[in-house]
Structure 1
């Protein structure tokens, strides 16, 4: 997929005002202390065609909110047809679906309903392009869900485990730090300006992630999918995958194996690829899971911890460089040598 420039919404930033220019939409959210979820929700709404360049009104007055075209994070109503997207009301338990079970904040609500449109617009793809759905789900998993969980006070761990350290560098915390301190003056206009700054911060990080997943994550996924589809051409067993260029593969391999319903009897044991310098080749054993240190089939025990000529002599394979002491990875100076290592490891 060709690289795509992801544009930011118009720099025009304005909150409120007594007059509403003809045709200008208005986004309503609450005033006072702001949080990451509505800061992001407002930003990404302004990436849609309907709410591009929309004005913003920050208020808790129902009469003011009733004049808005869409309201997020306030109003105690979730109703798509009325364009009301609050999540604080009793009985609200909406989740993203697709296997996700975290209760949505206003960020997740807006992203659930408008995310596909935003992605297709930003990347200039048709809404039915399968890449849109892949990126929509990936961005929720890696970026939006944590904002939903933090805003709703959902613990990250199922059990009460005392962390070894505190992390206050996440996006939600950085947005929170932009609010005035308890002993600083709370001026409404100043806080509105800080809200715009928070919205810009959250939105730029959102676009940065989308940009990364479009330019880097998705191309890597496509490489893994292609390598999986032709793995029997590499070895009839289908247990060896070959990449002609280095790319991150672990996450994609496990996800694609599940999506393609590849049985365990046909799942690959080894991945061959050039190292980052392109000068040598690696043969890596596929782990039991992306985070596991155990392999489906580690390289042979007699090779482990042996290097260079000694390894070539023991294995009977020319140009060997090393095999790690745990047997999870080895190296050879040539592509053919790495292939022979993988095939001999299969037979071991």
Structure 2
């Protein structure tokens, strides 16, 4: 049976049904998105998907609500919102529609659920307080969507629907960007793994371009690596490797004598022709050629040891 209608509630909107709509409108682009609380529309049917309303969670009947008691829970006991339910049932299909490589779909489905879907679920169910974000609490994605609702004195009878449909493409851009970034990290991981194998016991990891590399280093336990080099435009960069994503501390800093120097001053300090720049915080240096940056990398390794 063809899906002809996607049905969610009318009135005010939240991140969960908005993001659910992102997934469903891509998978069923010809279906009409209906915002209503009319009981006639909330009756299950083969040609409808009903979500964030309906008082039931029944995947076979294509009803995905989470407000009833008992409410649906994940295997670990954490609550679903409608977004989590829709992602659990339609996420793989959605990733396929975005041309995510088949070999990566399961891993990306899990990663997106953990990083993006679960926080929405927890906030929507009151299982996590917005205040955990501290001063940034008003800049979270759910708060951002809330800010796009009509103002209190907008008395237009279509105000909420108009705002919902205006916000939908914005929400879509966030979802697709996040999926794109996770997918890119999966591609990068394969490249980095090959580079780690090629480097062997060397403390210098050479990559063909700038890319995320921390996950691959952690997975293979390449703790001996201290610096990363890669081309950047016409130049080459030498970067320190952070101890973790939660800190700016590095496995090794660049030589202190290079801090804040540029061009001739840096060439004199390190003795390498073509050295162009070293950040004052000693986490990145730049040279005009691979030969020059590799010489700087060797010097950095010697000082670090």
Please point out which of 213, 216, 237 is paired with 1:282: 237
- Show the counterpart of 1:88: 67
Secondary structure of 1:46's counterpart equals: helix
Whichever structure has more helix as a proportion of its residues is: 2
Q: Sort the Cα spacing of 1:96 and 1:70 in 2 relative to 1 into closer, same or farther, 3 A.
A: farther
- Show the counterpart of 1:301: 256
Cα distance in 1, alignment partners of residues 74 and 131 from structure 2 = 18
- Show the counterpart of 1:265: 223
Residue by residue over 1:162-208, the C-alpha shift from the partner in whole angstroms, topping out at 9 and shown as x without a partner, is x4476268455435643462x55474xx25xx436514523453256
2:14 is aligned with 1:35? yes
- Show the counterpart of 1:312: 267
Residue by residue over 1:55-88, the C-alpha shift from the partner in whole angstroms, topping out at 9 and shown as x without a partner, is 5361163x54224433211233222223221112
Q: How many residues align?
A: 300
User: Cα distance, 1:295 vs. partner?
Assistant: 0.7
Cα distance in 1, alignment partners of residues 231 and 70 from structure 2 = 54
- Show the counterpart of 1:239: 203
- Show the counterpart of 2:50: 71
Runs of at least 5 residues in structure 1 that lack an aligned partner in the other structure: 1-21
Secondary structure of 2:26's counterpart equals: coil
Contact 1:40/1:203 (<8 A) preserved:
no
User: Cα distance, 1:283 vs. partner?
Assistant: 0.4
Q: Sort the Cα spacing of 1:172 and 1:137 in 2 relative to 1 into closer, same or farther, 3 A.
A: farther
Cα distance in 1, alignment partners of residues 139 and 188 from structure 2 = 36
Cα distance in 1, alignment partners of residues 239 and 265 from structure 2 = 20
TM score, norm. by length of structure 1 = 0.71
User: Cα distance, 1:335 vs. partner?
Assistant: 0.8
Cα distance in 2, alignment partners of residues 169 and 287 from structure 1 = 26
Give the superposed CA RMSD. 3.5
Contact 1:286/1:295 (<8 A) preserved:
yes
Please point out which of 184, 190, 195 is paired with 1:230: 195
Residue by residue over 1:134-158, the C-alpha shift from the partner in whole angstroms, topping out at 9 and shown as x without a partner, is 4434544554444334422322465
Q: Sort the Cα spacing of 1:283 and 1:57 in 2 relative to 1 into closer, same or farther, 3 A.
A: closer
Contact 2:44/2:50 (<8 A) preserved:
no
Please point out which of 297, 315, 331 is paired with 2:286: 331
Residue by residue over 1:259-299, the C-alpha shift from the partner in whole angstroms, topping out at 9 and shown as x without a partner, is xx322534x31111223xx2222101011122422111112
